[in-house]
Structure 1
Amino acid sequence: MAADKGITTRIALRAATLQFSDLANAARTVAKQCLLDCIGVAVAGRNEPLTRMLREDALDAGGHPQSSVIGAGIKVTEEQAALINGAASHAHDYDDVHFAMNGHPTVPIAPAALALAESRSKSGKDLLTAFAAGVDTACLIGRYLGQSHYEAGWHATGTLGAFGAAAASARILDLNPEATARALGIAGTQAAGLKCQFGTMVKPLHAGHAAATGLTAARLAKRGFTSRTDILETAQGFAATQGTSASVERFERALLSDSHLPDVCFKYHAACYLTHSAITATRRLVSEFGIAPGDVTAVTLHVPRGHFSVCNIPVPATGLEAKFSLRFTTAMALAGRDTAAIDAYTDSLTREHDLVALRDRVTVEARDDERRDTRVDIHVGSSVRSQEIDVGIPATNLDAQWESLSRKFHALVDPAMGHAAATRIEALCRHLEGESDLTEFFTLLRATA
């Protein structure tokens, strides 16, 4: 599979031959940070109604107890664990993002890798390598497809996440490049997720479905299940039917990166990531100029036009919808409300008079340039205070990022599992490459308080 081969086969070769030793220290560190963060948000989402329904459905269906459901005290089949943990970890929309794939990389990929690593008794290095292969695959495909796939209404977490989960699962199962290409083909024909479902239980289902789809695709490929091995680039294939902007040149540039993991961005507000720049800019202006909510006459947000199809619900009626409302999350920031706590976004919050009044003072205007930053203009009397921020810049100080993620993790996990268990899980994640036996790790993940 040299450079003259197709897109799919080249991605498959890269995933199938990736070794832990190929990963630079930054990629290894961010991979471990992604897993820690995923576990934290999965614990936070374990008792959400959507997670309970999926868990109950799995138990009703039955099957071999192969892989752990995080924080539930049970094992289910590999596919069921991938589905449930994937959905649970996206239930609060508090998980990491990657702009190369225009979506959330960890929640569709890690649950598949975790499920197989547990059932197949793999090591920490095996798990990290597979996860890295999965994230790399999703990002390479995202770069190849360009913006049109997401802009057309496809939720890339569900679509590209299925490819990533297939690559990670194929790596766990030690599939060769040809079988990995077939796994990508099997996953690609099932990849799904529509952005019109944002603000409903189906959005987190996309992540779980992608994880389970990718896992099953790799298992079938291992058995010899046939598929096209050029699913991405062939006529009537994925790129041809799911977008209009595929570019081999852009793909070639993406291949120059040894790993896309260091470009993962983590969330510290439990809302859509595209609201975070506005939240951060608003908080800075309020702090710097001592702006009180009652002093605000108007607020204008200047955002990329793409935000309008993702997080511009003008009048949210539920807590879930509030997470996808630039106007409402900005109102929360103006009022000094907590935007980090998972229980901050309630249905009743959307009806609070002071927040509704602030929300109605916020106007969102679209920009048509390529920039990702958000500018916030707060009008106070005859004055306008402005701040321009892009929070989508990956961290370079990974030690500081560990500390931020540790605080977030303990805030989510300590109340559910206790500080001692949370501390041990974090310690194992920080040194996962040294764990040849992950039995303790999965026992802790499965445990309930």
Structure 2
Amino acid sequence: MDDARAGIEVSRMFAEFAVDLAWRDVPHEVVHEAKRALIDYLGVALAGSREPLIGKLKRIYAKRGGEPEARLIGDEYKADVMTAAFINCAAGHALDFDDTHADFFYHGSVTVASAVWATGQMLHGNGRDVILAFIAGWDVGARIARALNPSIYIEGWQNTPTCGTFAATVAAGRLLGLNADAMCHALGMAASQASGSRQNHGSMGKPFQVGKAAMNGVLSALAAREGVTSSTIAIEGPLGFAKLHAREFDLSSALDELGTRFELQRNMYKPYACCLPHHAAIDAMFALRRKHGVTPERVERIVCGMPAGTLDASTRIDEPANGLEGKFSATHSAAVALTDDAAGLAQYADERVGDARLVPLRRAIEFVVDPTLSRGQCTAQAWLRDGESVSVRVDHPRGHLANPLTDDDLVDKFCANAAGMRHHERHMQALQPLWSLDAADDIAEVADLL
């Protein structure tokens, strides 16, 4: 039986939660996590703003842009609110360096942060309003993703642009002052636009479709403010988003502890600039190198064991042709980590991925499914040319909830992402007001630093 006929008003419950959420309802640690997430997003978007895709999108919209309502991150140019949300979101996802939910493949911040950052500037909103909208949107998007996983992912949909469209809609709608009825209509319009295929992994199409989710969320909220209506059960209805995107789902679980348990507390931040399942393998390579002295020239063969469900066509491109494909090549991530003792932006540049000297090592590394391993775990056994064999195991890679990045780690990541930017010193000045964003009277003033 579909959830609408069972009397579960999922869309209405989400709408009322988003509209009614008050500052006093949010624990201090959740507010702090929101600041961490926004800082991580903005730093990654700064770095991503230099990617070729973003230049192409800017050329498209420079000729057709609307009102200068919000700044494009890393640029002096301002665009209309929907365009800013789109391009900033694409920049925030272009490097696949943005945060990820601990329990399923969902980049929780990029769509909702892009929506609140652009809408907040347009409205000259204060920091508290922006943070509350961000938390509300993050929670709704992640709860939908949780209810539909793993089925939606197995069906080939990318969680971030699909579920993230609802996150962006709720966040923008909250800032625009929608009431619960209008928010329901906005969610209905979001359901009409939520899309994104995993076939696009390893290409510009992946950040493009994620960027569109932020844009579509802002559009849905703006349309609802103008009185545009839609189905009010477009998530849970018999022909709703859940039924169309997943063979199995449990939307009632999405409402568990709504308003008292926040999904943002399940957020993880990436230390490495690639697909999340590779991170445990990268740490395994670091362990082989740092603890056992394994270097590429000593390797005969390496076998990495990974959990079921983490190795498929979208995460293991064996012969990557460019940096984007390298981010989804488990063998490249392992090979470059063992060779460079690093897995930052430089390791996924086109030039590094295309370095022919890495090819023999990539071909000497095999990834296999180990059903005894859980999400985030990895084993690696290396057979060396001198006959020696060494093995390592990683249970909690760096960035995992059990091995999290600290505030100082996130500042270091922000600084590294902003390195080389034309206005580097100005970007560095943004850190203090971002850590105290709840005291900001107008986030447009903070945005001007980025």
Q: Taking structure 1 as the reference length, what is the TM-score of the superposition?
A: 0.93
After superposition, where does 1:375-394 map in structure 2 within 5 Å? 375-380=379-384, 381-391=387-397, 394=400
Cα distance change on mapping 1:105 and 1:383 into 2, 3 Å: same
Q: Name whichever of 288-297 and 237-246 sits farther off.
A: 288-297
Q: Name whichever of 82-91 and 400-409 sits farther off.
A: 400-409
SS of the residue corresponding to residue 376 of structure 1 reads strand
Runs of 4+ in structure 1 over 4 Å off: 392-398
Tell me what 2:429 maps to.
Answer: 424
Counterpart amino acid of residue 378 in structure 2:
T
Tell me what 2:283 maps to.
Answer: 280
Distance 2:400 2:356 in 1: 37
Post-superposition offset of 1:442: 1.9
Post-superposition offset of 1:262: 1.7
Distance 1:368 1:177 in 2: 45
Aligned: 1:415 with 2:442: no
Post-superposition offset of 1:435: 0.8
After superposition, where does 1:182-197 map in structure 2 within 5 Å? 182-197=185-200
Aligned: 1:325 with 2:329: yes
Post-superposition offset of 1:308: 2.3
SS of the residue corresponding to residue 305 of structure 1 reads coil
Counterpart amino acid of residue 118 in structure 2:
A
Counterpart amino acid of residue 183 in structure 2:
T
Counterpart amino acid of residue 311 in structure 1:
T
1:433 pairs with one of 426, 432, 438: 438
Distance 1:412 1:18 in 2: 33
Aligned: 1:230 with 2:233: yes
Q: State whether residues 326 and 353 of structure 2, in contact with CA within 8 Å, keep that contact through their aligned partners in structure 1.
A: yes
Q: Name whichever of 226-235 and 347-356 sits farther off.
A: 347-356
2:306 pairs with one of 291, 303, 306: 303
* CA offsets 1:282-305 (integer angstroms, 9 cap, x no match): 202221111122222211122233
Distance 2:16 2:329 in 1: 41
Calculate percent identity across the aligned residue pairs: 32
Tell me what 2:163 maps to.
Answer: 160
Tell me what 1:30 maps to.
Answer: 33
After superposition, where does 1:79-118 map in structure 2 within 5 Å? 79-100=82-103, 102-118=105-121
Tell me what 2:12 maps to.
Answer: 9
Cα distance change on mapping 1:228 and 1:391 into 2, 3 Å: farther
Q: Taking structure 2 as the reference length, what is the TM-score of the superposition?
A: 0.93
Q: State whether residues 82 and 219 of structure 2, in contact with CA within 8 Å, keep that contact through their aligned partners in structure 1.
A: yes
Q: State whether residues 397 and 403 of structure 2, in contact with CA within 8 Å, keep that contact through their aligned partners in structure 1.
A: no
Could you tell me which runs of 5 or more consecutive residues in structure 1 were left unpaired when the two chains were aligned: none
1:259 pairs with one of 254, 259, 262: 262
RMSD: 2.1
Post-superposition offset of 1:382: 4.4
Q: State whether residues 163 and 187 of structure 1, in contact with CA within 8 Å, keep that contact through their aligned partners in structure 2.
A: yes
SS of the residue corresponding to residue 297 of structure 1 reads strand
Aligned: 1:316 with 2:316: no
Tell me what 2:3 maps to.
Answer: none
Tell me what 2:122 maps to.
Answer: 119
* CA offsets 1:286-327 (integer angstroms, 9 cap, x no match): 211111222222111222332223311111111110110111
Tell me what 1:55 maps to.
Answer: 58
Aligned: 1:136 with 2:139: yes
Distance 2:252 2:168 in 1: 25
Distance 1:121 1:157 in 2: 27
Could you tell me which runs of 5 or more consecutive residues in structure 2 were left unpaired when the two chains were aligned: 1-5
SS of the residue corresponding to residue 81 of structure 1 reads helix
After superposition, where does 1:355-366 map in structure 2 within 5 Å? 355-366=358-369
Aligned: 1:45 with 2:48: yes
Counterpart amino acid of residue 408 in structure 1:
K
Counterpart amino acid of residue 339 in structure 2:
A
Distance 1:83 1:393 in 2: 27
Tell me what 1:71 maps to.
Answer: 74
Tell me what 1:404 maps to.
Answer: 409
Post-superposition offset of 1:214: 0.4
